[in-house]
Structure 1
Amino acid sequence: MALRNGGIRLNQLFPLEVSVLSSDALSTHLSNEYFSRTQLKCRLFSRGLHDVYKIWAGDQTYFYKVYRQGVRSKAEIQSELDLLLHLKAADLAVNLPVGKHDGTYISEFHTANGVRYGVLYTSVGMREFSHIEETPESNEKLGAYIASVHTAWDRCDAALNRWDLDASTFLDRSLEAARQFSEVHDFDLDFLEEVGKQVKNKLKGLPTETPQFGICHGDFYSGNVRVDAEHNPILIDFDFCGKGWRAYDISMYAYPFGMGSDVANFPQRERRKEQFLNGYNKVRAMSEAEVDSIALFIPFRRIFNIGTLYITYLTNTWGHSTVTWNVDSDVDMLKKWVDLNPIFS
């Protein structure tokens, strides 16, 4: 009979919350599934919401994403891939999934803490967008590119199995997680609740029809944009894609949170917004009301970061001390932003 130690049978595996796949074992898997008779190198590249591995196969490089267990279903991942392939068919440059020998894209890994899914993606571009000089031309080019992505997705008739980037996902769920977190860490929850309430009230007046509302990238900031040799933008990391307001998709780059928390950065923020929208409007003209709503999505996204990204998804990767630092920093900066950007009057 197996002995017990603290209620756990000694012949049972102790439960895990997160896991990291072996790079060596993954290299063997990738060789069998994609690159027969090719010498591979595989190294863990980054850990975050998901784990990303860099792959060297001959003279080509790729990135392999292993999705966090329980965060994305197989159907949701496949829907993300379908949206990428639709953009490819529309001749828009994005990072793309690589098919396995059997023509499918998604692998399953049965780990000690459940099934995890993996997808191989192409490596695109020469460098990150943030590593080139920001000019009116680069911002206008980026605006036109994002508008082209939006309009291409408006012609996509594939079934969409993704979350909605709406008040329920970004505010309600995030604030509930923040309430639970307040039981173990003291921060200004009342402030966060009030901002969430104000944002939610404002959202009720926004249209939910195409083209103002439709499929979005969902995490569009400079870190998810790369450029080719001619500085043409290429989007990567579509993990947050889903239906939402296009003004939200625009907000993170064109009207960034950090620039709105310091008056000294206001002129630069306004120039970036104007230049980006000059390019965007050449492809899909936005109404004045839609442009005015861009600012609303700064606290919308920040509450999501605090409650969903930091508290819900990344606690088990970063640890409690790093999460509390991020929560405190974001709440303090959001207070400055709300004071400097009176959008609720």
Structure 2
Amino acid sequence: MEENRILSILQENYDSDIIHIEFLRNSGGTTYIVNGKEQKYVLKIAGKAFLDTIRKSVDMMCYLAGYKFPVPTIIKTKSGLTILEISEEGQERLFILYEYIEGKEPNLCVCGESVGDIVGQLHKLLFAYNGELVKRDYSFFVERYINILRRKNYPQADVYAALGAKLWERVKDCPVGICHGDLHRGNLLETAEGRIYLLDFDTACLAPRMFDVMVMCDMTDYFALQNDDIQTTKAVYKSFLSGYTRNIALEEMELTAFNDWVAIRHFQLQATIVEMFGIDCIDNHFIDRQLNWLESWIKLSCLEL
């Protein structure tokens, strides 16, 4: 869809004085910066196939906003819709307009405690959320990747399978709750005033809450494990917990599962990448390096974080 047509649709359906849009990125849809005479907005356009995901994401953000939790405000259409459905050129598209928030990715080495407090507030607020969400378990976190390795006839697939089973056995009893699902630092935005916002709830799910905690606190390089990164991870995790536990009390099994979740993340994330880009986006050399990373992590991180 041409930008002039997108601009026309926005002007027809929203009260805001929108005068210009500019392309930002393609990622799970197309995102634009929208300029009004006095305000800026963010527009996300996605295909009809994403309707269920987007509805759940928008519903959760509206729920959190009702408690004044720091998420971007969703701008409603003139008729009060949070999601605008447009059918043109034989295609159906979804428009979601958000407030624009000026900010940057926060430095967790500096504000880990504050981020922990916000994530703890998030998990606590979501106790009462009753929206329907997918549940993530062994099949999502570990088994998907094992199946991919076997489809590729990777020679050490059984080594991965044994490691994945061992890791899951150690975390399987961690309490499950509603999670953000992709709580990496890129989904945080810190304003000049120091207010931190959470973004992108498209992957919200039912999962062990330590998964969210781990994704936020893991400061290791995905491709090259360094001891300095392990020490940074330990420091960030400690700082994060000092804020998080003001809101959520963690069980001992959760606290000690952190290292295992870091390793499991590599199974989960690699499977997701392959599902997005195709089975040939990784080769045996890359898979070997990832196995070396995991084995090194298990040895180097044996000290309790």
Unaligned 5+ runs, structure 2: none
Tell me which residue corresponds to 1:172.
143
**How many Å separate the matches in 2 of 1:54 and 1:32?**
18
CA gap 1:301/1:50 in 2 versus in 1, 3 angstroms: farther
Amino acid at match of 1:275: S
| Helix, strand or coil at the partner of 2:255 | helix
Indicate yes or no: 2:41 matched with 1:62. yes
What does residue range 1-345 of structure 1 map to in structure 2 within 5 Å? Answer: 21-35=1-15, 38-67=17-46, 70=49, 72=50, 74-110=51-87, 115-130=92-107, 134-135=109-110, 138-156=111-129, 158=130, 160-180=131-151, 182=152, 189-207=157-175, 213-258=176-221, 261-308=225-272, 310-315=273-278, 328=287, 330=290, 333-342=293-302
Name segments (4+ residues, structure 1) moved above 6 Å.
Answer: none
- How far apart, in 1, do the equivalents of 2:235 and 2:116 lie? 13
3-state SS, counterpart of residue 305 of structure 1: helix
State the distance in 1 between where 2:237 and 2:143 align: 29
Matched letter for residue 129 of structure 1: P
Could you report, residue by residue, the CA deviation over 1:49-75 in whole angstroms, capped at 9, with x for unpaired residues?
3332221122322222233563x3x23
Q: Percent identity?
A: 19
TM-score (norm 1): 0.76
**TM-superposition CA deviations, 1:83-121 (whole Å, max 9, x none):** 111211112111232211111122335578964433222
Q: Is the 8 A contact 2:18 2:34 kept in 1?
A: no
1:222–1:253: 8 Å Cα contact kept in structure 2?
A: yes
Structure 1 position 326, deviation (Å): 11
Contact 2:134 / 2:205 at 8 angstroms: preserved in 1?
A: yes
Give the alignment's Cα RMSD to 1 decimal. 3.0
CA contact (8 A) 2:10 2:18 kept: no
Length, aligned pairs only: 301
Listed one character per residue, the Cα deviations across residues 117-173 of structure 1 (whole Å, up to 9, x for unaligned) are: 33222222432214xx832xx1111111110111111122x3x23322322333333
Flag the 1:113–1:292 CA change in 2: closer, same or farther, 3 A.
farther
Secondary structure (helix, strand or coil) at the match of 2:257 reads helix
**Deviation, structure 1 residue 224:** 0.7
Deviation at 1:327, TM superposition (A): 5.7
Residue pair 2:137, 2:207 contacting (<8 A) in 1 also: yes
Q: Secondary structure at the match of 1:119?
A: strand
Q: Distance in 2 between matches of 1:233 and 1:110?
A: 36
Compute the displacement of 1:330 (Å): 4.7
What secondary structure sits across from 2:268 in the alignment? Answer: helix
